[in-house]
């Protein structure tokens, strides 16, 4: 792209001056990688390009999966309106690669026609440096262009304001009202007439569904408590039915879609095997939803079916690993489905919004803007744009955004300290229901001699002991994910990092001098290092990112989990070589203190155990049978002497958290401590002190409360 060129093919043009793709002079939103890939295809028109060639030319300095090629090829076809079965531009050659088959015209652009040194190709007058005036006909063209741009800008201004006026909640001063304060309200939706709200409430291990009259504040239970989680609610356009998704917290994690009358009654099952997102067409006849088979070639897919019965399923869109579809909603005119897609595993801005056109079965990415994650989307009633709850690196804070359908530009509408999730508008867009979420994780210290007593240490999301006994942990106490340190007795708490990016997963070197951690401050999750006092913060991985889990006894090698696929990698601190160590597990991995053995969860024939694998030969050297009364392995950690393993398990509902210790000498497992599960929904870490006398556990969850918003200005 160093030399300016214009590549013409069909109705399209790729300009390397500004790296833009245009159709009939209209810019088409595409990513930089899509531009690079298209350029390679155009420059090799007619040639079959294999995947190795494409990886070397489009991703020369990165180690990426071949799925990135197929994903970007697919997005290019969407942008070009191409069809893989009967291609006009990009042809797939099975088991070989891809070929650009359309005629390509390569043009060297002429100099700027208004440049003082330009020469008229038709032999007309040339303007030289120092000329007193611009030729009259060129001056007229210039003025006409300026007037046209001004008129376009004014028209755009009025169009934007007209769109805002069509949604009163966007133009009214910011106003919100809490509908709950317990932290146990999850899915919620507002009726089309704006008079009622349906929501789920968790009490203990059960959830129930309630209906609230906004006028009177009266709450009525619609569906009694059950041991199932509720995910998303939506009303039918006439307000007579409520659709919702729910599922049991079992190992299969099956989520089903139901509907029930607003007057109550037994819920009717509509669909099974979904991921929870639900949308109903304006005529009430069609439902859109997502299934995630979680196969490499089809990670998540968008579907439609009959809203009342679930019959006549139709697959619309599929994405390969690791791309997931987060939410979807049918447009107010019923012709399009907007959906959020991407991945957030490596903590990069890799989420966007696309549309599927139900009339011509085409799809397109509607914005060049990228986010760390998008939780929910909803259309404005006039179809002029979307509201999103999304976060963007370096700040993971989930705000409410407005995405314009005309420009593809996204603007944040909230800037308060709250994080938002659910989005539901009434028909007039004067009232918006959302949920506010709050992180609530804490470190507790337990004595192995008497684990019945636990001692609160700090608010945190992950913790690790240093060899000298100090504890390093990740926390949002400052309002952002940062690394802190603290003494085991709770004294000398100190913040170590202060970067706007998110920092976490600290691991300390054997000599106590270096702290390794993960950070997305460079745009994606990579392994960083710093001195124990926070000085000299340096990124050490560049090809593959992830989270550190272990430092070799000699301090020369750091092991880390890949940010996207969870496989085990290492980096040499001497040579900076990044190497894949083990690709046969994507579960949590713990490495023995001597660095010779790794332990990780493995399930075979529905039986759960811990596999022990040699770090040198990568061969299985043993296994640990896990207690049958527990169904899930939450965390595991080696004891400092390497002669036993500490691990935590729970039941199928992530309740009944119990810590066990397996001794290699006795070849036996003993129950250490019942941690309880009061107000706890997640466990995110277990670590053992260097002397083996105590351990820390990070427990907590997320608080959810419903809020009514009547103004966002």
Q: What is the rounded CA–CA span in Å between residue 392 and residue 409?
A: 14
**DSSP 3-state of 521:** coil
What's the burial of 225, exposed, middle or buried (CB within 10 Å: 0-12/13-18/19+)? Answer: middle
Q: What is the rounded CA–CA span in Å between residue 12 and residue 38?
A: 12
The tokens 């009622």 sit on which residue?
Answer: 196
Q: What is the DSSP letter of 371?
A: B
**Tens of pLDDT along 194-214?**
999 999 998 887 899 999 999
Answer yes or no: are the C-beta atoms of 233 and 189 closer than 8 Å: yes
- Paired strand residues for 674: 658
**Tens of pLDDT along 380-402?**
999 999 999 999 988 778 999 99
Q: What is the rounded CA–CA span in Å between residue 666 and residue 328?
A: 54
Q: Is the pTM of this model over 0.85?
A: no
Which residues are CB-contacts of 166 (< 8 A; sequence separation ≥ 6)? 380, 381, 382, 384, 429
Give the pairing of strands 644-650 and 6-9.
unpaired
pLDDT level of residue 233 (50, 70, 90 thresholds):
very high
The tokens 């028109």 sit on which residue?
Answer: 45
- Paired strand residues for 557: 572
Q: What is the rounded CA–CA span in Å between residue 59 and residue 65?
A: 10
Q: Is the peptide bond before 322 cis (omega within 30 degrees of 0)?
A: yes
pLDDT level of residue 252 (50, 70, 90 thresholds):
low
Q: In the predicted model, what is the mean pLDDT of residues 347-362?
A: 92
Flag whether pLDDT at 250 surpasses 90: no
Q: In the predicted model, what is the mean pLDDT of residues 268-282?
A: 94
Where are any strands of DSSP class E within 466-521? 471-475, 482-486, 494-495, 503-508, 514-519
pLDDT at 102: 92
- Paired strand residues for 242: 235, 260
With vertex at residue 712, the alpha carbon angle to CA 709 and CA 713, rounded to the nearest 5 degrees, is: 150
Q: At 505, give phi and psi (nearest 5°).
A: 50, 60
Neighbours of 494 (CB within 10 A): 13
Identify the CA nearest to 434 among candidates 410, 403, 400, 404.
400
Q: How far is CA 389 from the centre of its chain?
A: 12
Answer yes or no: are the C-beta atoms of 275 and 300 closer than 8 Å: yes
pLDDT at 674: 85
Flag whether pLDDT at 249 surpasses 70: no
pLDDT at 251: 55
- Paired strand residues for 93: 97
Q: What is the rounded CA–CA span in Å between residue 240 and residue 56?
A: 57
**Tens of pLDDT along 410-455?**
999 998 888 999 999 999 999 999 999 988 888 999 998 888 888 8
pLDDT at 62: 59
pLDDT at 147: 43
- The DSSP H or E segment spanning 41 is helix 32-43
**DSSP 3-state of 56:** helix
Q: How far is CA 467 from the centre of its chain?
A: 35
Q: What is the rounded CA–CA span in Å between residue 680 and residue 659?
A: 15
**DSSP 3-state of 36:** helix
Least confident of 130-144, 442-456, 465-479, 540-554: 130-144
Residues of the chain above pLDDT 90, percent: 58
The tokens 């579809």 sit on which residue?
Answer: 325
pLDDT at 34: 86
Q: What is the DSSP letter of 184?
A: B
- The DSSP H or E segment spanning 152 is helix 136-165
Distances (CA, A) of 418 to 348, 351, 479, 499, 708: 22, 21, 11, 20, 13
pLDDT at 629: 66
More confident residue, 597 or 78: 597
Q: In the predicted model, what is the mean pLDDT of residues 615-637?
A: 88
Which residues are CB-contacts of 614 (< 8 A; sequence separation ≥ 6)? 596, 597, 620, 621
Identify the CA nearest to 167 among candidates 408, 413, 381, 414.
381
More confident residue, 679 or 316: 316
**Tens of pLDDT along 321-337?**
899 999 999 999 999 99
**Tens of pLDDT along 646-662?**
998 887 777 778 899 99
**Tens of pLDDT along 558-591?**
999 998 888 999 999 999 999 999 987 767 899 9
Q: Is the peptide bond before 394 cis (omega within 30 degrees of 0)?
A: yes
**Tens of pLDDT along 80-136?**
888 887 889 999 887 788 999 999 998 865 433 223 333 333 333 333 333 333 344
Identify the CA nearest to 525 among candidates 506, 502, 499.
502
Neighbours of 110 (CB within 10 A): 11
Q: What is the rounded CA–CA span in Å between residue 700 and residue 679?
A: 7
Q: What is the DSSP letter of 250?
A: S
Neighbours of 620 (CB within 10 A): 12
Distances (CA, A) of 468 to 77, 464, 532, 594, 686: 57, 12, 12, 17, 18
- The DSSP H or E segment spanning 74 is helix 67-80
Answer yes or no: are the C-beta atoms of 295 and 322 closer than 8 Å: no
**Tens of pLDDT along 3-42?**
567 889 998 998 887 788 888 778 887 777 888 899 999 9
**Tens of pLDDT along 137-192?**
444 444 444 444 444 443 444 344 444 456 899 999 999 999 998 899 989 999 99
pLDDT at 681: 57
pLDDT at 597: 96
The tokens 């603290």 sit on which residue?
Answer: 486
Answer yes or no: are the C-beta atoms of 300 and 324 closer than 8 Å: yes
pLDDT at 130: 34
Q: In the predicted model, what is the mean pLDDT of residues 235-241?
A: 96
Q: What is the DSSP letter of 263?
A: T
pLDDT at 380: 95
Q: What is the CA radius of gyration of the chain?
A: 29
Q: In the predicted model, what is the mean pLDDT of residues 616-632?
A: 87
- The DSSP H or E segment spanning 301 is strand 300-306
């Amino acid at each position: 792209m160093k030399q300016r060129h214009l590549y013409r093919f069909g109705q399209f043009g790729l300009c390397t001056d500004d790296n833009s793709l245009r159709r009939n002079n209209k810019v088409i939103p595409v990513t930089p990688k899509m531009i690079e890939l298209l350029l390679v295809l155009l420059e090799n028109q007619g040639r079959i390009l294999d995947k190795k060639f494409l990886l070397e030319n489009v991703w020369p300095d990165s180690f990426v999966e071949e799925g990135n090629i197929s994903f970007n090829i697919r997005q290019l076809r969407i942008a070009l309106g191409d069809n893989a079965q009967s291609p006009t531009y990009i042809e797939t050659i099975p088991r070989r690669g891809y070929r650009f088959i359309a005629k390509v015209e390569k043009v060297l652009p002429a100099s700027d026609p208004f440049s003082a040194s330009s020469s008229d190709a038709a032999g007309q007058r040339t303007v030289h440096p120092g000329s007193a005036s611009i030729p009259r006909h060129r001056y007229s063209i210039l003025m006409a262009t300026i007037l046209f741009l001004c008129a376009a800008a004014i028209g755009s201004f009025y169009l934007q304001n007209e769109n805002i006026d069509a949604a009163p909640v966007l133009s009214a001063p910011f106003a919100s009202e809490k509908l709950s304060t317990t932290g146990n309200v999850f899915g919620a939706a507002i009726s089309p007439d704006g008079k009622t709200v349906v929501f789920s409430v968790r009490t203990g291990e059960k959830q129930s569904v309630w209906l609230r009259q906004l006028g009177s504040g009266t709450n009525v239970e619609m569906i009694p408590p059950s041991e199932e989680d509720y995910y998303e609610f939506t009303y039918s356009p006439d307000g007579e039915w409520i659709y919702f998704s729910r599922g049991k917290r079992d190992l299969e994690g099956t989520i089903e879609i139901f509907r029930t009358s607003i007057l109550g009654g037994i819920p009717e099952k509509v669909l099974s095997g979904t991921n929870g997102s639900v949308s109903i067409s304006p005529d009430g006849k069609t439902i859109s939803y997502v299934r995630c088979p979680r196969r490499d070639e089809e990670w998540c897919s968008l579907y439609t079916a009959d809203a009342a019965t679930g019959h006549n399923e139709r697959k619309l869109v599929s994405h390969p690993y690791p791309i997931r579809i987060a939410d979807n909603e049918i447009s107010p005119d019923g012709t399009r489905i907007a959906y959020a897609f991407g991945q957030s595993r490596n903590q990069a801005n890799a989420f966007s919004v696309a549309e599927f056109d139900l009339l011509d079965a085409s799809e397109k990415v509607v914005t060049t803007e990228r986010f760390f994650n998008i939780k929910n989307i909803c259309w404005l009633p006039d179809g002029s744009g979307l509201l999103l709850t999304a976060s963007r690196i370096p700040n993971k804070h989930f705000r409410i955004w407005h995405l314009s359908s005309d420009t593809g530009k996204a603007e944040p509408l909230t800037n308060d300290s709250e994080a938002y999730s659910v989005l539901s508008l009434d028909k007039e867009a004067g009232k918006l229901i959302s949920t506010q979420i709050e992180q609530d994780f804490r470190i507790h210290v337990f004595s192995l001699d008497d684990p019945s007593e636990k001692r609160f240490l700090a608010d945190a999301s992950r913790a690790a002991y240093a060899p000298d006994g100090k504890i390093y942990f990740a926390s949002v106490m400052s309002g952002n994910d940062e690394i802190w340190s603290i003494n085991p007795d709770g004294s000398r708490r100190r913040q170590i990092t202060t970067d706007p990016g998110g920092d976490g997963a600290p691991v300390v070197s054997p000599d106590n001098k270096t702290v390794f951690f993960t950070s997305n401050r460079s745009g994606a999750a990579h392994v960083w290092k710093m001195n124990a006092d926070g000085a000299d913060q340096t990124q050490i991985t560049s090809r593959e990112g992830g989270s550190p889990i272990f430092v070799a006894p000699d301090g020369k090698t750091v092991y880390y989990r890949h940010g996207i696929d969870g496989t085990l990698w290492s980096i040499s601190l001497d040579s900076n070589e990044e190497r894949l160590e083990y690709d046969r597990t994507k579960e949590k991995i713990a490495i023995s203190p001597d660095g010779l053995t790794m332990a990780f969860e493995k399930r075979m024939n529905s039986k759960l155990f811990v596999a022990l694998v040699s770090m040198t030969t990568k061969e299985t050297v043993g296994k640990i049978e896990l207690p049958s009364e527990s169904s899930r392995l939450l965390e595991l950690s080696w004891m400092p002497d390497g002669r036993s393993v500490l691990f935590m398990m729970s039941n199928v509902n992530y309740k009944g958290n119990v810590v066990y210790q397996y001794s290699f000498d006795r070849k036996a497992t003993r129950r250490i401590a019942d941690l309880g599960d009061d107000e706890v929904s997640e466990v995110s870490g277990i670590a053992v002190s260097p002397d083996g006398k105590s351990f820390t556990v990070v427990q907590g969850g997320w608080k959810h409360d419903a809020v009514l918003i009547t103004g966002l200005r």
